[in-house]
Amino acid sequence: MTKFSDLNLNPKVLKAIAEAGYETPTPIQAGAIPPALEGKDVLGIAQTGTGKTASFTLPMITLLARGRARARMPRSLVLCPTRELAAQVAENFDTYTKHLKLTKALLIGGVSFKEQDKLIDKGVDVLIATPGRLLDHFERGKLLLTGVQIMVVDEADRMLDMGFIPDIERIFSLTPFTRQTLFFSATMAPEIERITNTFLSAPERIEVARQATTGENIEQGVVMFKGSRRDREPSEKRKLLRAIIDAEGEACTNAIVFCNRKVDVDIVAKSLKKYGYDAAPIHGDLDQSQRTRTLDGFRDGTLRFLVASDVAARGLDVPSVSHVFNFDVPSHAEDYVHRIGRTGRAGRDGKAVMICIPRDEKNLADIESLVQREIPRLDNPLKSGSPAEETKPEGEAKPKRGRRKKDADTPQTTERPAAETPGKTNDGPKRSRGRRGSGGGGAGEKSDKGGNKVVGLGDHTPEFIGLSFKERSAG
């Protein structure tokens, strides 16, 4: 079995790896580190949670151990799709460079330009950035990319999903043609093939798992759900989520709840908190300091439930997530792979449960097609509760609204004779049986005894009321 000591890494890097508690590289690390150390371009494809970050940080640190950075000219560049992933990569560099004098800067949104400018002015060996903030610094004349020796694109497919293709192509054009390029991704979309054919030179392709596969150690399931009415569906769906969480019991030590829309992230987090669940939201519209606090709380165990948009689906490394709950079926099938990859990391077992409403069934079919397996259907945990708690099909909720209708039909439920209900003449023969001395006719109709009777007035009807207009005029 290959060990890190067999990979020709810098001795000071090996010392930091040992202190971090690692001895054996993952398959993607064992495959990508040797060609990267030789200066070759690398295209690494592996499912999430397999250690792709160390696959490029370790050889980069070894290659950059000698040399010195110049002001405003970083020696290496790492591009990440989100602030959280960029911050995580920066933490990896801190871990593995503790015995080396390498400098780094983190360029992400939500942080002061002034502080970032100070770091760049001093010169950095490693620049970790999101594409937008990197180009902001470049356009302000604060940054030159002509000194980049190694360029990394992390979570390349997510970059493409988020619409960063034009930015990525522009950044590539600003770096030297002789740079070394490392591409790492969980899936391999056709568009990435085009990018790699354009900007990578004879890359070493390292693929350690079939594209878009989910970990075998992750137990998966989906609950098919239909609301009683469309306007009640969101609240009933949140109730179902709470029931699913409760059904997991103590096995659910912590979890990430994914929603498709940022507004739903806030609503679901608020709902969980209202019902006593320790939850907090994280999405792109929140202040960076708040996002950082929330993530730190989830990592150190003080926060149990993280309600997130897909900003947290890619690359975030929280090793001990026990569950992932998909409140919504992802619109893009690839996002399902990344979402559930937040659990079952580092060889641990995990569980992923998804809620699917009728209009999301097509997206569910796309996911099953991508992962080449049927996701097991789970029972609705609310069905085992009391009838009032069950989620009823659309037609069964209507009787609750029928009180007025019952009141209107009082003759069918009260003891008063039908003959005493005026105006109800359209029932025909059925009602005639309940009238005393009436032939079933209306006002002014003659009885068998020759008298005039009016329905509802009993035997004491005044004579003139029973007369028709014709009869009155004749008299």
Give the pLDDT confidence score for residue 18 in this predicted structure.
93
pLDDT tens per residue across span 187-230: 777 888 888 899 999 999 998 865 566 778 899 999 999 999 99
In angstroms, the CA 384 to CA 1 distance is 50
Residue 120, domain extent = 4-207
Is residue 53 assigned to a domain?
Answer: yes
Q: Are residues 390 and 427 in the same domain?
A: no
Is residue 447 assigned to a domain?
Answer: yes
Global pTM reads: 0.64
In angstroms, the CA 82 to CA 284 distance is 9
Contact 210, 112 (CB under 8 A): no
Q: Are residues 361 and 469 in the same domain?
A: no
- Per-residue burial over 306-318, b if 16 or more Cβ lie within 10 Å, else e, is bbbbbbbbbbbbb
Say how many C-beta atoms besides its own lie within 10 A of residue 398's C-beta.
11
Q: Are residues 470 and 388 in the same domain?
A: no
**CA nearest to 108, candidates 140, 134, 89:** 134
Is residue 128 assigned to a domain?
Answer: yes
Q: Are residues 124 and 222 in the same domain?
A: no
- Among 363, 395, 427, the domain boundary falls at 395
Q: Are residues 155 and 41 in the same domain?
A: yes
DSSP assignment of 80-114? -SSHHHHHHHHHHHHHHTTTS---EEEE-TTS-HH
**CA nearest to 62, candidates 125, 153, 154, 145:** 125
Q: Which residue has the tokens 């209900």?
A: 421
Say how many C-beta atoms besides its own lie within 10 A of residue 356's C-beta.
20
- Among 207, 232, 262, the domain boundary falls at 207
- Among 186, 207, 228, the domain boundary falls at 207
Q: Are residues 319 and 457 in the same domain?
A: no
Q: Are residues 222 and 184 in the same domain?
A: no
Q: Are residues 270 and 180 in the same domain?
A: no
Contact 187, 334 (CB under 8 A): yes
CATH code for position 171 = 3.40.50.300
Name residues of the chain where pLDDT drops below 50.
385-450, 472, 475
Give the pLDDT confidence score for residue 292 in this predicted structure.
84
pLDDT tens per residue across span 35-78: 999 999 999 987 766 788 999 999 999 999 988 888 899 999 99
Q: How many domains does the chain have?
A: 3
Is residue 408 assigned to a domain?
Answer: no
Is residue 409 assigned to a domain?
Answer: no
**CA nearest to 251, candidates 162, 320, 199, 331:** 320
Contact 360, 335 (CB under 8 A): no
Q: Are residues 310 and 367 in the same domain?
A: yes
Q: Are residues 303 and 431 in the same domain?
A: no
Q: Are residues 252 and 132 in the same domain?
A: no
Q: Which residue has the tokens 């987090």?
A: 269
Give the pLDDT confidence score for residue 403 in this predicted structure.
46
Is residue 326 assigned to a domain?
Answer: yes
Is residue 404 assigned to a domain?
Answer: no
Q: Are residues 237 and 293 in the same domain?
A: yes
Give the pLDDT confidence score for residue 279 in this predicted structure.
96
Is residue 126 assigned to a domain?
Answer: yes
